[in-house]
């Protein structure tokens, strides 16, 4: 038996050693770029190379996508470095100061870490093809040059960040294309259908999610990323196929935390790439379009974490295997993969040649961080009545490796984000403090600075995101350094023995998740419309009430279990008689029916907007939602209580027949929740909402030559009219269920100037008056228009109701503070 075992073992060892190294062309059976490679085959190739060259390549599965595809990393190094890979990693973390083993880092001879991330956008697939070529070139024994480079660098390859999106695109393309590709741009194979392959399973753009980590692909990847903190990071993309190649240096604006070295080395890398493109006569551009500001990209996030972070863009979206371009040429996948391969090799080369400098500058970046260099504010202190609001921020900080704790000395003054003034600190009950003196200091500044740094040039994304606003949590920014001690966690939830019922405070998303859980288990839940006092304690409007009367048998156990699961402390009720306010049998106490929810999707709806709502129901509320195609809502609306209309064009509902169906749905007791342009569409349906018109003729009349604009200034001329994402303070009527759980204000992300007129027959729950502007870029002409209008409103109509929410309160699912507003629209309004 033993002999047989050893014989089998020997055989396996021999097979493993017998595996010979194959080029991607040999392994796949076709030249790279002449076919799209399915994701599993890319994974197989990486595994095969690791098996053939185990002394130089290690592959690691770091997770799975929502659809169950493998996420993987490959580490490529010379044998002497691969043997001590973990020691190299720990030394790198010691240089960054995030390793707590107190050993001194060794900078002399430490290799630079170069991390290459391919195919974050699924329908920008050329880079994963290139990744296989890069891997082979690094290990190919005949390639002496790469072995020289590997003396100075360790290369980490993520061959595909977004496998679900990639396969969605590739499978569709293979279905749409014929035996040979058709270069005619009008051919169906160049017209990808909704929701396209760009995003992950839930239509999320993973290149907007680095800091927030709302999606599992990002969560798993960023855990690995923060265990390494590479010196150089490249994120590979494609843009429209008529565009040439784009590489570093990036466009202005650069955030002010970006160091001179980070700027300079981007230029060096760009010049090295240019050398190869010049030799081949390929077109490229630099310093335009792709700026470095919003912190959640594959270039900015690494940059704010000590790396030289860059985006590279090949022309190619929609190009398939080949497409005719404007200049009459045919762009093929082979070309696109070759270009990405070229910049990959060039980046590794220039990094290897400058490895010693990269390593010392990397260490200096983090040394400066630990001395809070460049931070005006030295301490941030956040406080809340509900410990779960503090926990939500703590979770974000943990995900980004940011240290936090508590301050014991609370006799200080600081900039109060909510009032915009220097004020004495007042504690709400729970607290979290962050010191700027820490390895992630620059990241802290970027995430927390009250007024984000804005130069007056056009930017690619939103311009304000400060955590106290996006999370709706009271905070102070201090110019003084306070000692931040260990973080104190809130007391554990205790069971409540309930004779008559339970009271559940409704003050954070945890209470919403709890409600969703109870409704699905059939537990009967009510909410109080008004504040009340019971047993000497004050309860706010919105407080959830679970009573014994007419409830299901194990209601008490289920409610206690859910309170524990969602970390909400309930109070016991022994009598229906309250000290002050409405008794539990009053008509001010509303019974909550578990709603049946439909979500409009399809071509009429922006896929990212539909995805936010879909993911929110699936992964946050864990509550069922049915996706309907807006192009064909059919006659099934009567199956539902709620119809959600996310941001979209709704062209196919722009007819009487479709609108009559929606009106009948409302008349018969349905509730429509209309978001962003969905709300604008509802305004056209004569249901009481009216869009506010923005008439800027008055400004023009002042200057009779205002229309005489210079051609060369055309890009800058649009800036006064633009708002790509700024924060405004909204006044809330928190006596209405739509605003339960909130103070009488809310910070909204304004991405356009859409406002509604105040409702005459309805509830003006969220309004902008004159002084709403808080942070971010709003053009000089658009700024005065964003005032005196309605943002969140509710109208009762027939037996049903309509709720409009003008801004994206679920923005990328990181706008934590908007989630309760949306949930209130679902569970409370109209009940």
Q: What DSSP character marks residue 207?
A: G
Nearer to Zn ion (CB atom), residue 121 or residue 663:
121
Nearer to Zn ion (CB atom), residue 128 or residue 516:
128
Task: Give the Cα separation of 450 and 470 in Å (integer).
Answer: 11
CB of 763 to Zn ion, least distance (A): 42
CB of 286 to Zn ion, least distance (A): 17
CB of 460 to Zn ion, least distance (A): 11
Q: Is 725 left (phi over 0), alpha (psi -120 to 50) or beta?
A: left
SS3 119: coil
SS3 815: coil
Task: Give the Cα separation of 484 and 492 in Å (integer).
Answer: 23
CB of 313 to Zn ion, least distance (A): 7
Q: Are strands 251-254 and 291-292 parallel, antiparallel or unpaired?
A: parallel
Nearer to Zn ion (CB atom), residue 314 or residue 764:
314
**Would you tell me which residues interact with Zn ion (CB under 5 A)?**
121, 124, 237
How many C-beta atoms surround the C-beta of residue 74 within 10 A? Answer: 23
CB of 317 to Zn ion, least distance (A): 8
CB of 241 to Zn ion, least distance (A): 13
Nearer to Zn ion (CB atom), residue 70 or residue 124:
124
Task: Give the Cα separation of 201 and 66 in Å (integer).
Answer: 6
Task: Give the Cα separation of 630 and 625 in Å (integer).
Answer: 15
CB of 228 to Zn ion, least distance (A): 23
Q: Could you give the angle at the alpha carbon of 589 between the alpha carbons of 587 and 593, nearest 5°?
A: 105
Burial class for 334, CB neighbours closer than 10 Å (0-12, 13-18, 19+): middle
How many C-beta atoms surround the C-beta of residue 473 within 10 A? Answer: 22
Nearer to Zn ion (CB atom), residue 121 or residue 671:
121
Q: How many CA atoms lie within 13 A of 20 on its CB side?
A: 4
Torsion sign (Cα): 626, 631, 635, 641: positive
CB of 166 to Zn ion, least distance (A): 12
For residue 108, give the nearest of 378, 359, 289 by alpha carbon: 359
Task: Give the Cα separation of 166 and 164 in Å (integer).
Answer: 5
- HEC string of 494-519 equals CCCCCCCEEEECCCCHHHHHHHHHHH
CB of 123 to Zn ion, least distance (A): 9
Nearer to Zn ion (CB atom), residue 166 or residue 255:
166
Nearer to Zn ion (CB atom), residue 311 or residue 441:
311
Q: Is 477 left (phi over 0), alpha (psi -120 to 50) or beta?
A: beta
SS3 337: helix
Nearer to Zn ion (CB atom), residue 240 or residue 429:
240
CB of 341 to Zn ion, least distance (A): 18
Nearer to Zn ion (CB atom), residue 291 or residue 449:
291
Nearer to Zn ion (CB atom), residue 231 or residue 313:
313
CB of 121 to Zn ion, least distance (A): 4
Task: Give the Cα separation of 286 and 251 in Å (integer).
Answer: 7
- State the residue number with the nearest CB to Zn ion: 237
Nearer to Zn ion (CB atom), residue 192 or residue 676:
192
Asked whether 636 and 592 are in contact (CB, 8 A), the reply is no
Determine phi and psi for 209, rounding to 5 degrees: -115, 5
How many C-beta atoms surround the C-beta of residue 654 within 10 A? Answer: 12
Determine phi and psi for 33, rounding to 5 degrees: 100, -15
């Amino acid at each position: 038996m033993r002999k047989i075992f050893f014989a089998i073992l020997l055989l396996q060892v021999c097979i493993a050693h017998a595996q010979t190294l194959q080029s991607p062309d040999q392994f796949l059976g076709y030249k790279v770029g002449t076919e799209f490679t399915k994701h599993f085959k890319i994974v197989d190739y990486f595994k095969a190379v690791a098996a053939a060259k185990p002394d130089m390549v290690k592959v690691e599965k770091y997770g799975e996508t929502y659809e169950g595809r493998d996420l993987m990393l490959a580490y490529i190094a010379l044998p002497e470095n691969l043997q001590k890979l973990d020691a190299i990693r720990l030394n790198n973390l010691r240089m960054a100061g995030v390793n707590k083993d107190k050993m001194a880092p060794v900078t002399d001879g430490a290799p630079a870490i170069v991390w290459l991330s391919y195919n974050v956008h699924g329908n920008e697939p050329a880079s994963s093809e290139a990744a296989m070529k890069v891997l082979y070139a690094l290990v190919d024994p005949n390639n002496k040059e790469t072995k020289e480079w590997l003396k100075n660098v360790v290369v980490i390859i993520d061959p595909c960040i977004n496998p679900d999106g990639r396969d969605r695109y590739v499978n569709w393309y293979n279905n749409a294309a014929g035996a040979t590709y058709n270069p005619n741009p009008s051919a169906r194979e160049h017209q990808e259908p909704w929701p396209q392959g760009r995003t992950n399973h839930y239509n999320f753009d993973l290149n907007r999610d680095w800091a927030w980590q709302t999606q599992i692909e990002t969560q798993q990847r960023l855990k690995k990323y923060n265990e390494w903190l590479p010196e150089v990071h490249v994120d590979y993309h494609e843009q429209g196929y008529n565009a040439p190649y784009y590489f570093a240096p990036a466009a202005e604006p650069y955030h002010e935390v970006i160091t001179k070295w980070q700027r300079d080395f981007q230029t060096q890398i760009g010049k090295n790439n240019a050398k190869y493109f010049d030799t081949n006569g390929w077109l490229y551009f630099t310093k335009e379009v792709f700026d470095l500001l919003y912190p959640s990209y594959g270039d900015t996030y690494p940059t704010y974490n000590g790396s030289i972070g860059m985006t590279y863009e090949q022309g190619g979206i929609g190009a398939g295997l080949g497409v005719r371009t404007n200049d009459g040429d045919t762009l093929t996948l082979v070309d696109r993969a070759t270009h990405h391969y070229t910049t990959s090799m060039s980046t590794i080369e220039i990094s290897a040649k400058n490895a010693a400098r990269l390593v010392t500058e990397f260490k200096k970046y983090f040394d400066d961080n630990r001395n809070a260099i460049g931070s005006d504010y030295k301490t941030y202190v956040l406080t809340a009545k509900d410990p779960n609001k503090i926990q939500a921020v703590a979770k974000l900080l943990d995900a980004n490796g940011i240290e936090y704790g508590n301050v014991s000395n609370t006799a200080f003054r600081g900039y109060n984000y909510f009032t915009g003034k220097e004020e004495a600190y007042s504690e709400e009950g729970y607290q979290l403090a962050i010191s700027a003196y820490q390895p992630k200091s620059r990241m802290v500044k970027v995430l927390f600075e009250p007024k984000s740094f804005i130069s007056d040039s056009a930017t690619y994304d939103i311009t304000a995101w400060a955590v106290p606003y996006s999370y709706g949590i009271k905070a102070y920014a201090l110019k003084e350094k306070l000692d931040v001690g260990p973080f104190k966690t809130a007391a554990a939830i205790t069971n409540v023995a309930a004779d008559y019922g339970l009271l559940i405070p409704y003050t954070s998303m945890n209470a919403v998740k709890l409600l969703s859980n109870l409704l699905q288990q059939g537990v009967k839940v009510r909410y109080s419309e008004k504040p009340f006092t019971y047993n000497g304690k004050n309860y706010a409007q919105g407080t959830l009430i679970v009573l014994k009367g007419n409830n299901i048998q194990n209601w008490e156990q289920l409610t206690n279990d859910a309170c524990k699961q969602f970390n909400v402390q309930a109070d016991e009720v022994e009598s229906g008689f309250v000290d002050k306010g409405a008794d539990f049998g009053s008509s001010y106490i509303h019974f909550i029916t578990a709603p049946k929810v439909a979500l409009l999707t399809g071509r009429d709806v922006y896929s990212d907007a539909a995805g936010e709502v879909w993911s929110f129901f699936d992964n946050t509320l864990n509550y069922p939602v049915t996706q309907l195609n807006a192009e064909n809502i059919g006659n099934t609306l009567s199956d539902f209580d709620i119809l959600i209309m996310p941001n979209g064009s709704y062209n196919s509902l722009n007819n009487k027949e479709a609108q009559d169906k929606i009106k009948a749905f409302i008349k018969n007791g349905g509730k429509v929740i209309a978001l962003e342009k969905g709300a604008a569409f509802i305004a056209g349906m004569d249901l009481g909402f009216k869009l506010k018109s923005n008439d800027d003729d008055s400004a023009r009349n002042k200057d009779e030559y205002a229309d005489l604009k210079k051609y060369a200034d055309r890009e800058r001329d649009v800036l006064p009219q633009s708002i790509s994402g700024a924060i405004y303070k909204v006044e809330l009527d928190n006596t209405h269920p739509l605003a339960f759980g909130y103070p009488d204000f809310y910070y909204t992300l304004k991405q356009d100037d859409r406002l509604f007129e105040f409702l005459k027959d309805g509830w003006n729950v969220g309004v902008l008056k004159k002084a709403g502007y808080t942070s971010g870029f709003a053009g000089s002409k658009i700024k005065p228009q964003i005032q005196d209008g309605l943002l969140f409103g509710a109208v009762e109509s027939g037996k049903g109701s309509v709720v409009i929410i003008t801004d994206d309160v679920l923005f990328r699912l990181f706008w934590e503070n908007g989630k309760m507003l949306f949930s209130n629209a679902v569970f409370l309004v109209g009940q």
